[in-house]
Structure 1
């Protein structure tokens, strides 16, 4: 039974390098890796909301747009069947593995990633990892895996401040043909959430509702959507 397809990355307009407003050196490193200009793997560390998943998805999408075989794998969903998932990833140019900390303490998953890392090196795959801490601080029980993960370029992503999150949300809305003014942003950041992941999911719902109702994004319209869904 194949376990690759449910986890396959699908490119979308919400995950582009241009929308990442964090540190330029971090974005540039991922963009170069996606383009095949970096032979090493990258291990990116950061807290929730730092844009780690966004960078991985943008990398996979960019590689796909360039005609390279790439995939995004969320390890929080795949840890229980990781060996099967990784066995289906031969022949790819780029593999993006999100949330390595999800494997810590799972011996089978740790060994599966260790063997995949070795195979990826032999096949010339480029690997991008994200986690909440550096390899040695994740509680991984397999020393050889920690050693492998520490061999590549290690970077740290900072969490965006509110101004940065506002600009990201505006860009993502504009990419869908939606205008999001400061009054709307004020409402969302004070009444809904300041978490960019939650706000991005809400933008998906607002986009569909706006298209269905042929309405622009205003505070009263957003209130009506949230009231209806509630």
Structure 2
């Protein structure tokens, strides 16, 4: 947890205080919604629905009613804001509008560093502190960029048979910058 998602963690831990016992959590892919939801389910015994925006109105409505009848908190996850879900059922629309909404914003530096470290630890690797400091000043701060850079640095480290160091970080960033310039 960092300042980037502290408010979300605070609300997930205080699910008893949610308006209508429902929280709608939105944020970009890779920001940790599913990881937080798994912990929430374990701790609260509540119900979760990932990619809620992709489900039919009737399915969402029935899940809402089930959560209320069982007196369980309901956590709905989406990469889209509720206004983009295309809800047509008036009762569901009003219930969602009255629910607590939280959006996970862009990652702060502590989150970015933690995500890089987690990515490489899962592969039995580490990323050097000088590589993290270099990227800190030059990369776009987004969850997608963290994922792209981590994958590229991983591939470059395997290819060169070297650890994830400053040279690997520089090469990955240049590669991605050049790749993005081609797409423009």
Task: Say whether the fold is shared (TM-score over 0.5).
Answer: yes
Q: Are the structure 2 counterparts of residues 94 and 25 from structure 1 closer, same or farther at C-alpha, using a change threshold of 3 Å?
A: same
Mapped pair 1:54 → 2:35: no
Q: Which runs of 5+ in 1 are unaligned?
A: 1-17, 69-92, 104-108
Between the two proteins, the alignment pairs up a number of residues equal to 167
Q: Which of 62, 67, 92 is equivalent to 1:145?
A: 92
Mapped pair 1:113 → 2:56: no
Mapped pair 1:178 → 2:159: no
2:110 aligns with 167
**Distance in 2 of aligned mates of 1:150 and 1:116:** 16
Contact 2:22 2:99 in 1 (8 A): yes
Q: Are the structure 2 counterparts of residues 194 and 25 from structure 1 closer, same or farther at C-alpha, using a change threshold of 3 Å?
A: closer
Deviation at 1:216, TM superposition (A): 2.5
Contact 1:42 1:155 in 2 (8 A): yes
Q: Which moved more, 1:178-187 or 1:122-131?
A: 178-187
Deviation at 1:112, TM superposition (A): 1.4
**Distance in 2 of aligned mates of 1:139 and 1:216:** 47
**Distance in 2 of aligned mates of 1:30 and 1:56:** 12
**Distance in 2 of aligned mates of 1:115 and 1:62:** 21
Q: Which of 11, 25, 43 is equivalent to 1:44?
A: 25
Deviation per CA, 1:40-77, whole angstroms, max 9, x where unpaired? 1212355x47x7x514422314644x5x7xxxxxxxxx
Partner of 2:48, secondary structure, is: strand
1:74 aligns with none
Partner of 2:49, secondary structure, is: strand
CA-atom RMSD in angstroms:
3.9
Q: Which of 11, 19, 41 is equivalent to 1:29?
A: 11
Mapped pair 1:126 → 2:78: no
> So what's the TM-score if we normalise by structure 2?
0.63
Contact 2:12 2:40 in 1 (8 A): no
Q: Are the structure 2 counterparts of residues 183 and 212 from structure 1 closer, same or farther at C-alpha, using a change threshold of 3 Å?
A: closer
Partner of 1:125, secondary structure, is: coil
Deviation per CA, 1:173-213, whole angstroms, max 9, x where unpaired? 334262343545545874x7543233135425645775897
Q: Which runs of 5+ in 2 are unaligned?
A: 180-184
> So what's the TM-score if we normalise by structure 1?
0.53
